[in-house]
Structures are given as C-alpha cells and as structure tokens.
Amino acid sequence: MGIKLRLIVMNFLEFFVWGSWLISMGGYMFVTLHFKGTQVGDIYGRMGIASLFAPGVMGFLADRYISAQKLLGICHLLAAGCLIWASRVTDFETLKTIMLFNAIFYMPTIALNNTVSYIVLEKRGFDIVKIFPPIRVWGTVGFIAAMWTVDLGGWTLSHLQLYVSAGSGILLGLYAFTIPDCPPAQTKDKKSLASSIGLDAFVLFKTERMAVFFIFSMFLGGALQITNAFGLPFLNDFSQHYADTFAVKHPNLLTSVSQISETLFILTIPFFLGKFGIKRVMLMSIFAWVFRFGLFAIGNPGSGFIFLLLSMIVYGMAFDFFNISGSLFIEREAPITIRASAQGLFMIMTNGIGAWLGTLGAGWVVDHFTTGGVKDWTSIWFVFSGYALVLGLVFPLVFKYKHVPQTGQPVYH
C-alpha cells in the first residue's frame, strides 16, 4: 500500500470515529436516556473544556518526548476505552465525566493526525500544500460514512453507536503504530508548554482588530455545537406526526448533507477571500448561521422539508467561512514568531471557550422552552437565529478592516 493511500485510510478513520456519535448522541441522550437540555449541552460542552488544554499538552509531548504516530495510537485506544465504558452508563454525572476523558484523549488526535500526515509527506519530498488537501478530504468522507453507518444500522438512538466509534477507534489506534515513525524534532529551540497551548498569542489582544476578531470567534464558536447537540433531537421530536417521512426515519442521512456542503464550500474559500476579504466572508458566515437556525425554525419533515434541506446546505458556508477563513486570516496577520500559538488561541476561543459556553447556553434555552416534556422548537431555533443576527449587526461596526480586491492586501482604518 502506497504512503498516500495509507494516510487516506488514517484520515478516513480519524473522522469516522467522531462521526459515529457526534451528531446522533444528542438524540440518544434525549430520547433514550431522558436527559434535560442543559445536561445534553453540558456533555457536548466537555469537548470545549478538553479543547482548552488537551491538544496543546499532547502537542507538547509529541514535540519533545514521544513519536507523534505512537501518541496518536495511544490516544485513540484510550478514547475508545472511554466510549465502551460510556455505552454502559445511563446516569448523567458519570456519563459527563467519562465523556470529558474521551474528549481529552480524542480532541488532540485531530491535530496529531495532521502532524503525522505532514511529517510523513515531507520526509518523502511531497508538496504538502498540493498533496495533503486531497488526502484530508477523505476525513470528511469518513465522517459522512460513519453517520450513514449508524443511521442505516438503526443505532441513532442506541448506545450501539458508541461501540461503532470505539471499534473504529481501536482499529485506528493499532493502525497508527504501523505508520512510519514521526519522532520528536531534534532541535534546541523547543516550544514551552505555555506556547504549545497558545498562551503566547494572548499578546494579540493588545491590538484592537485582533481582540475583536478573537472575541467574535468565541461568540461564533458558541454556534458550532448547537446543531450537533440538538439537531437530531429536533428531528426525532417530529416522529409522532411525521413518522414515515425521510427526515424522521433517516435523520443522520439528512444531516450528512451538511458535511457534503462543507466539502463543497471549502473549494470556494480562495475565491471569496480574494474577492471580498475576511470581514465580508466572516459576515457571510454569521448570516449563514442566521439562516441555518431560522430555516430549522420554519421547517418540518412534511411540507417544510425544503427548509430543512436548505438549512443543511447553508451549513457549509456557516462553518467553513468562519473556521477555515478565520484560520487563514490568523496565518496572515499574526507575527511569524507566534503564528502557531495564535492558531492554538483560535481553537481555544472557538472549540474551547465558545463551544463550552454555547452548548451550556443552548441547553438552558431548550429547557426554558420545554413544557411538560414538549419542546417548542420553533421558539428555540428563532432564539439561536436571533443570537446570530445580533452578532451579524454588531460585527461590521466594530471590526475595522477594508479589503482591496485588486491587490488582495488588507487595509485597516
């Protein structure tokens, strides 16, 4: 098996592990375990807490003490063990603790997966910028394949989805040990733990435009996990009146359109950034979130199915134009000496603080609009849409940036 094919398999499994439960576990917790909205949000928020420190700590270990592919394998095996344990637990307090440990071990593997791919390709003389994206896209394919597997297996509301994830995690954990060695770099100039976690980059808050960017990144990060946690419970609640519809019978298949859209919108980012600049692209992302939530509010699996489908499609713009474009903006604007730390800070603000606070707040909103066990999803989604709308109205007023399409160079005012 050629090295590129081996890396494709690794990237496929990396996101198959996550896709097996990330979208469907909310439905399992609501319908099967009968958790409250705040409890579901709290468990999804464990990923945000882990993202505050775990990727940096594991990156620090890979930089100094242990080969990256070995650490990748160890993390996946430990995360899989947590999921097997979680599959046998039905009480909230125990489950949230287990899922925190799962997140501590799994979340760093996303960066480790990239690191291993970069090192292996670089050692063989490949152009990483040219070769890696076609390899990485198989990660999204793996995520979609996992969603389809769980859906067609009838496990969206079952603990068996955790076994699917754990099984693929064990397979990847063992497979990682067969990847060519990626030892710690032999250099005297090694990053400190604080630098690895991204703390060095907090100096960027001294610059107004960067401070505004990171603060809004945190607010937008709050939107990232909302539909992951509550999208499937929302569709499941239509089962009484729309039991025979596609959206209710195959919610994961419908939701996978979001990931398909994501792969397509990634390809448009260079055009939109060059044409409109980061400020307008971020604004497009914010208003895409307005439509993402608003279309859910007016949609249903029957006559309103088109609105659900449009919500899935617009997700690609909402996610990519924020996450990918924001990362590219930081790559350009941060001083080269703290560029890696700045990317770490971006992850802390979005997938860490933002996602954690967002899921907790979203859980409170869901519970607030729940009466006698019945959720007023229309009001819930309109609240989320209104939240994004406020961000969209304030952002262009406070983020000082002007794009010059002719040169592609930014001008600040």
pLDDT at position 311, please?
A: 96
pLDDT at 411 over 50: no
Stretch 180-191: mean pLDDT: 74
What are 96-114's pLDDT values in tens digits?
999 999 999 999 898 888 8
The single-letter DSSP state of residue 204 is G
C-alpha 200/C-alpha 18 separation (Å) is 30
Stretch 288-315: mean pLDDT: 96
* pLDDT band at residue 195 using 50, 70 and 90 as cut-offs: low
Stretch 255-271: mean pLDDT: 87
Kindly compute the dihedral angle of the four CA atoms of residues 141, 143, 148, 149, in this order, to the nearest 10 degrees: 110
Domains of the chain in sequence order: 1-188 (1.20.1250.20), 198-413 (1.20.1250.20)
- Two tokens, residue 199: 């703390």
pLDDT at position 128, please?
A: 75
Average per-residue pLDDT in the chain? 88
What are 116-128's pLDDT values in tens digits?
988 898 888 888 7
Q: Which of 132, 100, 47 is nearest to 347 (CA)?
A: 47
Q: How many CB atoms lie within 10 A of CB 148?
A: 15
C-alpha 227/C-alpha 311 separation (Å) is 11
Q: What angle do CA 179, 100, 25 make, to 5 degrees?
A: 90
pLDDT at 137 over 80: yes
What are 222-250's pLDDT values in tens digits?
888 888 889 889 998 998 889 889 999 99
* pLDDT band at residue 80 using 50, 70 and 90 as cut-offs: very high
- Two tokens, residue 209: 């435009």
48 contacts: CB under 8 Å, gap ≥ 6: 221, 225, 351, 352, 353, 354, 355, 356, 357, 358, 359
Contact between 29 and 155 (Cβ < 8 Å) = no
C-alpha 44/C-alpha 25 separation (Å) is 9
Contact between 30 and 156 (Cβ < 8 Å) = no
Would you report the helix, strand and coil content of the chain in percent, each value rounded to 5?
75, 0, 20
Question: What's the pTM?
Answer: 0.82
pLDDT at position 413, please?
A: 40
State how far Cα 370 lies from the chain centre. Answer: 27
C-alpha 3/C-alpha 349 separation (Å) is 35
Question: What stretch of H or E contains 341?
Answer: helix 339-347
